[in-house]
A and B are shown apart, each in its own frame.
Chain A
Amino acid sequence: MTAERGWRSHPLLQLTLVRYREFYREPEAIFWVFIFPVLLTAGLGIAFRSRAPDRTPIALVAHREQAALAERLASDSALKVRLLTDSSAAQALRAGEVALVVVTTDSGVEYRYDPERPDAREARLRADEAVQRTAGRSDPVPAHERTVREAGSRYVDFVVPGLLGMNLMGSGIWGIGFAIVDARRKHLLKRLVATPMSRTQYLASFVLSRLTFLVLEVALLLGFAALVFGVPVRGSPGTLAGVCLLSALAFASLGLLLAARPRTVEGVSGLMNLVMLPMWIFSGVFFSSSRFPDAVQPLIKALPLTAVNDALRATMLRGAGLNQVLPELAVIVAWLVLSFAVAVRLFRWR
């Protein structure tokens, strides 16, 4: 009757297998954890892709034949010139169809534009350049231009580490919080602690399964970003792996803390949103957290997701080594240790 205990019947393995089974038998979970971040990257990468700057439309009102000026204006790659009469040019300016109206007069040239519009100011400078050159001005200092466009400075390069951080937070907090509160609600947690099961192994099974999914999540998102958008990973893979690992553990601890007491899924959802929503906004996922006032910067820097995003960006975009992201890692480890310690104290097994 008594079965031999092989490695396959080790409780930690069985508990971890349960985590996998519950996950992959839930198609929605797979979508949110793996597919959604990739779709979001694709969407943002396409929406904010780099492209040639638009030409600014301007109007030229010529009272005399001005073929040379018109030609020189048209040859400026940043301007798009329309020849209009005085009244229709005024109308076009009012309607915002043109940013600038250039009017040639007997005594010279008049520029009509709204100085609040940056494109109008630039168009004025460029138009004036064309006017003066047509009149014979030459540059005393010869200048050469060399344009630089490099992977790592585009929006998609900025946003991919942010999305990775957000994903690590989301799957850590949702994945652990929901499963635990659901087990408590169904009295399954109570049933499990009535067996000789080790409580440590129960919690460890969540950590183990999170770490496996972590590898897949990171590989899928970064692989997609690298192949499709050429997003670089300049730091060493080891440093990146270390940052991801600590981040995932910190968010897993936070998920454990949030799930420590609630008895209903609604209760824990509210708590999770309360914790995650501010971080989506303040922690520099979609735009830099430096846009917020200096006074709140210390608070923002203390948020776990800010530290994770900063560390990921430093590693991926600037090629920082482990010792260059130590302040961020310190914040992450502090969250990990504190959340875990408080979670274990508060945890309700019934």
Chain B
Amino acid sequence: MPDPAPPLFIRQLRKSYADVVAVDGLDLTVHAGECFGLLGPNGAGKTTTIEICEGLTVPDSGEVVILGRRWGRDDRTLRELLGISLQETQFSEKLTVAETVQLFRSFYRRGPDPATVIELVQLTEKASSRVGQLSGGQRQRLALACALVGDPELLFLDEPTTGLDPQSRRQLWELIEGFRAGGRAILLTTHYMEEAERLCDRVAIIDHGRVIAEGTPRELIASLGAEHVLEFAVADGATLDASALAGVAGVGPIGRDDGTWRVQVSELHQAMPALLGELRRQGAQLSELRTHSATLEDVFVSLTGRQLRDG
């Protein structure tokens, strides 16, 4: 029984608050079995978009079709079909993990039993602990358990790993990968590039409420036309002749951010010596030099001229 409707289809979505346009004509489609990432700095409109999809916020205009259904018409059915993890939900600290999951399980007509979900998110040992005693990572896994307890067709995860230590983050990534392997669709928001690169089949980069780039992480990085990024700073903040730098063979776009120069290069082994030669010719003393493989972060920087974490 193939369902022709994609899990999520958004067209020309708009939402303004009193003093700010949060979502400004956003288009998006999430296909079956896909993990789709919304990427962008804080305030880009990610949370507003995902809360409109969750039926928690009413958009000003635009179309949202979820699993062939719409908010305002099929609310009850949609709530049965969606799994949700909000940013910063605090569950009641006086309840145990098992009691919390059992409560959420009671709201859904169908779904795995609480113990199964608790085991899935690796909280079995903590099942009878109070929520108040859990670590940040354990709380996020509890939130994931509450999202999975209705056996959802589509999972919304709003910044599932924000504020977690690297180990807890990797543990949560494994759980999300496990769910994705089950063939259900996921929409997640994040401002961690490595999270998007690892988990998402496709990502949309969002800025000021619009999609400014969309594709697989690999496609987006390839769109830079440069595989490496070279960053350097010069002693005493001496001024450099940027056009001469840009003339160096193999050097792509150049950007500058707080005294750090950022150069996209395709052939690092050729561009680097040439660039160093040019710097020496200009009489500049290097105080920092590093290179990395291009990431989604660099895609964002090249599209907006800002860094993601600047917010």
A21:B88 contact, CB within 8 angstroms: no
- A18 and B89 within 8 A (CB): no
- Cβ of B84 and Cβ of A194 under 8 Å apart? yes
Asked if A15 and B103 sit within 8 Å, CB to CB, the answer is yes
Contact A14 B106 (CB under 8 A): yes
Return the contact of A194 from the options B56, B94, B106 (Cβ within 8 A).
B56
Expressed in whole angstroms, the Cα–Cα distance for A3 and B102 within the complex equals 11
Whether B91 contacts A188 by the Cβ 8 Å rule is: yes
Specify the main secondary structure of chain B where it touches its partner: loop
Stretch of B109-117, B202-210, B221-229 that contacts chain A: B109-117
B90 an interface residue at 8 Å Cβ cutoff? yes
Within 8 A of A (CB), among B12-57: 54-56
**Least CB separation from B110: chain A residue:** A2
Task: Looking at the assembled complex, report how far the CB atom of A201 sits from the nearest CB atom of chain B, in whole angstroms.
Answer: 9
Kindly state the separation between the CA atoms of A13 and B102 in the bound complex, as whole angstroms: 11
Query: Residues 134-178 of chain B: 1 if any A CB is under 8 Å from the residue's CB, otherwise 0?
Result: 000000000000100011000000000000000000000000000
Residue of A nearest to B80 (CB): A196
Q: Please, which residues of chain A bring their CB within 8 A of the CB of B108? A: 195-196
Q: Are B56 and A190 within 8 A (Cβ)? A: yes
Residues on the B chain within 8 Å of A195, using CB: 79, 84, 104, 107-108, 150
Question: Is B105 engaged at the interface, CB distance under 8 Å to the other chain?
Answer: yes
Asked if A338 is at the interface (CB within 8 A of a chain B CB), the reply is no
Could you say which residues of chain B place their CB within 8 Å of the CB of A125?
none
CB of B242, distance to nearest CB on chain A (Å): 47
Bound CA span A18–B151, Å: 23
In the complex, what residue of chain A is closest to B114 when comparing beta carbons?
A3
Contact with B along A312-336 (1 / 0, CB 8 A): 0000000000000000000000000
A197 in the interface (beta carbon within 8 A) = yes
B54's partner among A3, A13, A194, A197 (CB-CB below 8 A) is: A194
User: Residue A25 contacts which of B87, B90, B94, B116 (CB distance < 8 angstroms)?
Assistant: B94
Q: Is A1 within 8 A of B151, CB to CB?
A: yes
- The reply to whether the CB of A72 lies closer than 8 angstroms to some CB of chain B is no
Residue of A nearest to B78 (CB): A196
Contact among B90, B106, B116 for A1, CB-based, below 8 A: B116
Q: Judge whether A193 is part of the interface by a CB distance below 8 angstroms.
A: yes
Q: Using Cβ atoms and an 8 Å threshold, which residues of chain A touch B89? A: 186-188, 190-191
Size category of the B interface is 20 to 34
> Is A11 an interface residue, CB under 8 A from the partner?
yes
CA distance A190 to B54 in the complex (A): 11
Q: Are A18 and B103 in contact (CB under 8 A)?
A: yes
With a CB–CB cut-off of 8 A, which chain A residues contact B116?
Answer: 1
Contact A190 B106 (CB under 8 A): no
Query: What residues of B have a CB within 8 angstroms of the CB of A13 in the complex?
Result: 106
Q: Is the CB of A187 within 8 A of B94?
A: no
Docked Cα-Cα span, A191 to B95, in Å, equals 16
Cβ of B193 under 8 Å from chain A: no
Distance in angstroms between the alpha carbons of A17 and B99 in the assembled complex? 9
Is the CB–CB distance between B106 and A21 below 8 Å? Answer: no
Interface string of A180-216 (1 = CB under 8 A from B): 0001001110110111110000000000000000000
Tell whether A11 pairs with B95 under 8 Å between CB atoms, given A186-B89, A187-B89: no
Question: Is the Cβ of B112 less than 8 Å from the Cβ of A1?
Answer: yes
Min CB–CB distance B172 → chain A (angstroms): 18
Other A-B contacts than A18-B99, A21-B94, 12 sampled, CB-CB below 8 A, are: A2-B112, A3-B105, A9-B106, A14-B103, A14-B106, A15-B106, A21-B99, A26-B94, A186-B89, A187-B86, A188-B92, A194-B79
23 examples of A-B residue contacts, CB within 8 angstroms: A1-B111, A2-B111, A3-B105, A5-B109, A9-B106, A14-B102, A14-B103, A15-B103, A21-B94, A21-B95, A22-B94, A22-B95, A26-B94, A186-B89, A188-B89, A191-B146, A194-B55, A194-B86, A195-B84, A195-B104, A195-B108, A196-B79, A196-B108
A contacts, CB < 8 Å to B: 1-3, 5, 9-11, 13-15, 17-18, 21-22, 25-26, 183, 186-188, 190-191, 193-197, 350
